[in-house]
Amino acid sequence: MKEFRDDAVVLRTYKSGESDRVVVLWTRSHGKVRVLAKGIRKATSRLGGNLETLAYVNVDLVKTRGDFYIARHVSHTQRLTTLRSSYARINAGYAVVEVVDAIPSDDVADEAIFDLLTRVLLTLDDDYFDPTLVPTSFYFKLLTLDGSGPVVDECVNCGRDVPLVAFDAQVGGALCGDCRSGVSMSSDALTLIRRIVGGDLAGVLRGEVPAGAGEVMAIALDAIEDHFGKRLRASRSTPPLAPSAGS
C-alpha cells in the first residue's frame, strides 16, 4: 500500500452510501485525489469536522483499490476562522474551489495551482481584504497560469494601441472599436482588469470595491467558463455585486 503525507484543500464532498462521504482534495504534490471517508456522516466521526469544503489540511493518505484514497491523521494547516465567519467570504471560497474542481487534471500534480488556491484562501481569511473581487482575480490568475491570460494592453485582434471598448473571452482579451466582438467594456472595467492582472491586486482588494467591478466579474466568469467549457454553479449563484461588500 502506498502511503504519503501531503498538504491539501477540500474542494467539495458528496454522499456515498449510508454513512460515507467522498472528499475531493487538491493536494500540493499529488494533484486532485478522492478520499473515501468511511463513517464520516456519523456524529462520532473524528474526520468529519476536519474534511469540510474549504478546509486547508495536512493529511496522511493511503491508496486503496480503485480510484480512492483513505485519509488518516488529518490536521488543520490553517483554521481560516475569519473566512468561516462570513457568508460573503465562504461564498467567494466556494466559487474558487468549484473552478479548481473543474480543472481536468486528475492525478497530475500541479503545485502552482495549490499555491494559488491557498493564497486565495488566506486572502479570504484576512479581513484587511474585501472578498468581492477575490474569485474574479483568481479566474484571471488561473487563466494566466494556463497560458491564457487576457490581453488588455492592446487590441487582442489588431495589436493597435487605441481605445479598447469590448472584451471577448473567446478571442482572449480586449478589442478596439474596429475589431469589437463579445461584450462592451467601460474604461473603468478596463482599468480594473489591468490592475488585477498587472500586479496591483492587493490595492484592488483593499478598501472600497472599485468602479467597474460588476462588469469585470461578469467578464472573468465568462472567460473561465469558456476556458473549461463548463457552467459554474457556485460562481453564478453569488450575487452580481453585493451593495455592502464588506463581509
Positions in the binding site for Zn ion (CB under 5 A): 155, 157-158, 176, 179
Q: Give the Å distances, CA to CA, from 63 to 3, 9, 34, 45, 68.
A: 7, 18, 10, 20, 6
| 45 HSE (CA, 13 A, CB side) | 19
Nearer to Zn ion among residue 23 and residue 176 (C-beta): 176
Cell numbers at residue 64, please?
A: 486503496
Closer residue to Zn ion (CB): 9 or 179: 179
Cβ distance to Zn ion smaller for residue 97 or 174: 174
Closest approach of Zn ion to the CB of residue 172, in Å: 13
Comparing CB distances to Zn ion, the nearer of 3 and 178 is 178
Q: How far is the CB of 234 from Zn ion (least distance, A)?
A: 35
Report in angstroms how near the CB of residue 109 gets to Zn ion at its nearest. Answer: 39
For residue 174, the minimal CB distance to Zn ion (Å) is 9
Q: Closest by alpha carbon to 60, among 11, 6, 111, 9?
A: 6
Q: How far is the CB of 69 from Zn ion (least distance, A)?
A: 50
Task: Give the residue with the Cβ less far from Zn ion, 158 or 202.
Answer: 158
State the burial class of residue 120 (Cβ atoms within 10 Å of its Cβ: 0-12, 13-18, 19+): buried
Nearer to Zn ion, 178 or 200 (CB): 178
Alpha helices in the chain (DSSP H): 81-84, 87-102, 111-124, 134-145, 187-197, 201-205, 213-228, 233-237
Q: Which residues of 18-48 are buried (b: 16+ CB within 10 A; e: fewer)?
A: eebbbbbbbbbebbbbbbbbbebbeeebebb
Cβ of residue 176: shortest distance to Zn ion, in angstroms?
3
